[in-house]
Amino acid sequence: MQFQSNLVSGRLVKRYKRFFADVELSNGRIVTAHCPNTGSMLGLANHGVKVWLEPNENPKKKLKYSWKLVDHENGHFTGVDTNVANKIVNEALLQGKILEVLDYDIILREQIYGANSRVDFLLRNGSKTCYLEVKSVTLCRQEKIAEFPDTVTSRGAKHLKELSKTVSTNTRAIVLYLVQRSDCNYFKIAGDLDQTYLNETISSSNSGVEFVSYRVNFLSNGIELGYKLELIDNSSF
């Protein structure tokens, strides 16, 4: 997944109303950028943190910058744009990088199923089907351990319930936690932040839903799928 233009750096002044972030650029000018992340962004939106913005010249967009990265200034980055997660996974599927689903040759995106739900990817090969749900992960509270969710997510719990109902002999359901950080080697569910989501994880795992986590690689001009992370068993799966 390539950025549309070269990123510019700055320092975060504040994030507010979820979708806005004031950033002081290196030349001292303060701009308002779009924040493409509806989560709490726990640990990522502190005043003064170094960030990278993507400029745009689209006349239809009111905001001329979009917040893409947090620069931890230790050689590591976090991607904050949740919208790019599906783009990264889609490219990885086309390139055969996701080992768990190599035997599917048809890739359908944003398919409606269940009780008015929508799955990110529906994969098919003859009579075999796989529902693939992608979750963007940015939280890290312990060294090298990524966590999801970073706040209560009733929508995420609903998705797990719906996925549980799809599993059958020829139908799989997978939740892929895409860790948009370069400093994590493990993944776990943040049950202390959302006990309901943890409970639904346990229930859906017992129903046959599969769980996998991959991290990303940050490139000079974009982001790509990296290697698979180890899942920490916190009595959930």
pLDDT along the chain (237 residues), means of 10: 96 97 96 96 97 92 96 98 98 97 97 90 97 98 98 95 96 98 98 97 97 97 97 70
Can you give the pLDDT at residue 235? 56
Tokens of 112: 């409606």
Quick check: 228 and 214 in contact, CB under 8 A?
yes
Whether the ω angle into residue 149 lies within 30 degrees of 0, i.e. cis, is yes
Q: In this predicted structure, what is the pLDDT of residue 93?
A: 98
135: tokens are: 């979750």
pLDDT of 61: 86
CA–CA distance, 93 with 10 (Å, rounded to integer): 34
Helices (H) and strands (E) in the chain, counts: 3, 16
Residue 24 token pair? 């002081």
Q: What pTM was computed for the model? A: 0.95
| pLDDT computed for residue 236 by the predictor | 46
Structure tokens that stand for 12 in this block: 């975060």
d(CA 237, CA 233): 6
